[in-house]
Amino acid sequence: MATPCDVPVGVITGDNLVKLLKHAKDNGYAIPAFNCTSSSTANAVMEAAAKFNSPVMIQVSNGGAQFMAGKSIKDKNACAAGSVALALHVRAVAPYYGIPVVLHSDHCAKKLLPWFDGMLEADEAYYHQYGEPLFSSHMLDLSEEPDEENIAICVQYFKKLAPMKIWLEMEIGITGGEEDGVNNEDVDPEKLYTSPEQVYSVYEALSPIGSMFSIAAAFGNVHGVYKPGNVKLSPERLLKHQEYAKAKLSSADDKPIFLVMHGGSGSTDEEIKTAVSAGVVKMNVDTDTQWAYWDGLRKFEADNRDYLQGQIGNPKGPDAPNKKYYDPRVWIRKAEESMIDRVGVSMEKLGCAGTFPVKKPADGSVPLWNFKPVHLGPLEEAKKMLGNLMKH
């Protein structure tokens, strides 16, 4: 096994993120990115990463961000606020789990760009205060637009991200199925397969700006779960993208492009291995963990149904209390435990389990506010100036 990647625990950004993704590509593993909609699901993902000794990605979708903010909130900035809330939660607790965490935002179609702009505003504010962005990376999914427009908008936003060392993920070619309100169930099947020329055109446009980007190239992927045989995945196409780019660049690197896999639910182990061997460093997981979270609750309810029909009264007696069964901390925990197990399955399949031995901090050693401003506010600046004057 390769030497573990030398990155800190907690949320990582910038050069440390580059180091981690390069380590993954060079050592033949990928990092799963789990869609989280609550502190509970985020905690389950981090607990699994610690349990399976793996780095992990936590990502938030537009719909997940709305849920995090509260479904009743109709403000135009609700989704951005929900994304920021989840990010701040993860930043506060991630160091305690002793593993590296990548904070990412998922599919952003053209109609959702105001959400992206809100997160970018938060990144800039956080960067000016703490010297790094709030999020590690963001995704633009403009695959429904013509390639020229897709790439042009990505260039526009990458110029804003690059100075803060925020990673950009973009998609060219369409992932089928339906997820989070984006429906590609009736798309032309040919659009489910990206060509090497399309991938290289993205590389040509983004690489002059910076190197911190990855490409989600379609190879028949479909969001959601499906029966084997119902979808024709061709992960071997990904290697052709690498070979084409290597030839164009006269590169010594056999895999010069960072690739991403979407729509992985239901994929065979062999298809996943083929994708990872072709330079996929990140795979999205959502449908399978959604089911796992529910399944933990479902089993708990089935096993304890007689204790969940009222606040009092169960097989032990008509006055026996049931609080220890209906307390949300009990059944939510069962959902988390089930999700933790399924997260571990993804880590094993992608080869990242065991690549980062957990580094749990000594008890009480993590500062409650685990960040320090690099720029002082006006009042603090004035106090500092006054203090300097009084020394002379």
Q: Cite the active site residues.
A: 106
The SS3 of residue 50 is: helix
DSSP 132: S
> What residue type is 334 in one-letter code?
K
**348: CB partners within 8 A, 6+ apart:** 52
Dig out the tokens for 207 from the structure.
Answer: 């690489």
Distance CA 61, CA 199 (A): 24
CB atoms within 10 A of CB 296: 23
Helical H runs in 171-264? 196-206, 236-249
DSSP structure string for 63-129: HHHHHHH-TT---TTHHHHHHHHHHHHHHHHHHHHTSEEEEEE----GGGHHHHHHHHHHHHHHHHH
Q: Across-strand partners of 280?
A: 259
Residues 60, 220, 258: CA angle, nearest 5 degrees: 60
Dig out the tokens for 103 from the structure.
Answer: 């904070």
**What is the separation of C-alpha 307 from the centre of its chain, rounded to a whole number of angstroms?**
37
**257: CB partners within 8 A, 6+ apart:** 199, 203, 214, 215, 241, 242, 245, 279
Helix (H) or strand (E) holding 148, with range, is helix 147-161
Distance CA 45, CA 118 (A): 25
